């Protein structure tokens, strides 16, 4: 079983929770344990934390990436 | 008046004896003293002449030494003046170089400060733009759009 922390800006609807679980099971067929966190500061999108691995697809992460690019340029 | 020959002869002999005595006892010692005196005077004169000659030589030497000293002093003064001019020139050049180095340093410092200022302004501007963007996005991003965004990201996860 893989424990996944799901972070979003708002509380997900049941259908969305199901969709998240379904997609994660495709990736981790052995099973997943989900823990949901609501952090409005991420603005939108989703962040998945699985142990050392992290997939950050939030609006805040995108903005941070844009900001880093602007600062570099 | 009778002329008595023996008396005359006696007088002549008497005069001769007195003359001989005077010559022997007085003339020779006096002559000797006078000769010695003349000799001493001549010696003194010679010594005086020698001293005068020596004095003249000394004066000539003095003049020569004075001229050499003056010449040497003039050379020393000239050398000192030359050296002073060179030193002055070196000091001026050194001061110029130092001033130039200081100007270059200040220029570099100013450029660095300017660059830092521009970088700070840029960062501040980016921070502001990002903050505004976050606020705008936060207010504009509704649940429906967010749901679409999440679905898209989840699709990417399995691909």
Contact (Cβ atoms closer than 8 angstroms) between residue B147 and residue A16? yes
Domain regions of chain B by residue span: 7-158
Count the domains in chain A.
1
Res B119 pLDDT > 70: yes
Res A58 pLDDT > 90: yes
Query: Global pTM?
Result: 0.54
**Token digits of residue B79:** 């050398």
**Nearest-angstrom CA–CA distance, A63 and A51:** 24
User: What's the domain range around A45?
Assistant: 2-72
Coil/strand/helix, residue B25: helix
**Nearest-angstrom CA–CA distance, A40 and A7:** 9
Q: What pLDDT digit, counting tens, does each position of B66-115 carry?
A: 999 999 999 999 999 999 999 999 999 999 999 999 999 999 999 999 99
User: Which residues of chain B lie closer than 8 angstroms to A9, CB-CB?
Assistant: 141, 146
Contact B134 A9 (CB under 8 A): no
User: How is the beta sheet containing A45-50 ordered, strand by strand?
Assistant: A32-38, A2-8, A45-50, A53-58
Give the model's pLDDT for residue A56. Answer: 93
Nearest Cβ partner for B146 among A9, A26, A27: A9
A17: nearest Cα among A1, A37, A42: A37
SS (H, E, C) B110-130: HHHHHHHHHHHHHHHHHHHHH
Q: Could you give the angle at which helices B143-158 and A14-27 cross, rounded to 10 degrees?
A: 10
A20: nearest Cα among A30, A39, A7: A7
Contact B123 A71 (CB under 8 A): yes
**Nearest-angstrom CA–CA distance, B90 and B11:** 112
**Token digits of residue B15:** 């005069």
Is the ipTM of this structure higher than 0.95?
A: no
Q: Which residues pair with A36 in a beta bridge?
A: A6
Res A3 pLDDT > 90: yes
Alpha helices in B3-158 (DSSP H): 5-22, 28-140, 143-158
Phi and psi at A30, nearest 5°, equal -70, -15
User: pLDDT grade, residue B1 (50/70/90)?
Assistant: low
Dihedral sign computed on CA atoms, order B77, B78, B83, B84: positive
User: Which residues of chain B lie closer than 8 angstroms to A55, CB-CB?
Assistant: 153, 157
Q: What pLDDT digit, counting tens, does each position of B41-75 carry?
A: 999 999 999 999 999 999 999 999 999 999 999 99
Task: Kindly give, in sequence order, each residue whose CB lies less than 8 Å from that of residue B52, ignoring residues fewer than 6 positions away.
Answer: none
Contact A46 B153 (CB under 8 A): yes
**Nearest-angstrom CA–CA distance, B151 and B137:** 18
Q: Which residue, chain included where needed, has tokens 């990201």?
A: B153
Contact A63 B134 (CB under 8 A): yes
């Amino acid at each position: 079983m893989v424990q996944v922390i799901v972070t979003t800006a708002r509380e997900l609807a049941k259908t969305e929770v199901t969709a998240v679980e379904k997609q994660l099971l495709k990736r981790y067929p052995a099973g997943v344990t989900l823990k949901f966190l609501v952090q409005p500061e991420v603005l939108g999108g989703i962040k998945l934390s699985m142990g050392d691995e992290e997939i950050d697809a939030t609006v805040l992460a995108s903005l941070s990436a844009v900001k880093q690019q602007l600062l570099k340029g | 008046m009778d002329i008595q020959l023996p008396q005359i002869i006696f007088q002549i002999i008497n005069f001769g004896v007195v003359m001989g005595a005077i010559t022997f006892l007085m003339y020779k010692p006096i002559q000797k003293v006078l000769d010695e005196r003349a000799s001493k005077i001549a010696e003194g004169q010679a010594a005086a002449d020698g001293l005068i000659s020596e004095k003249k030589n000394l004066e000539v030497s003095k003049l020569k030494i004075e001229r050499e000293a003056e010449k040497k002093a003039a050379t020393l003064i000239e050398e000192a003046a030359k050296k002073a001019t060179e030193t002055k020139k070196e000091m001026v050049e050194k001061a110029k170089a130092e001033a130039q180095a200081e100007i270059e340093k200040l220029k570099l410092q100013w450029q660095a400060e300017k660059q830092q200022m521009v970088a700070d302004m840029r960062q501040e501007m980016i921070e502001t733009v990002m903050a505004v963007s976050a606020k705008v996005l936060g207010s504009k991003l509704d649940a429906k759009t967010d749901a679409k965004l999440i679905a898209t990201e989840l699709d990417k996860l399995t691909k």
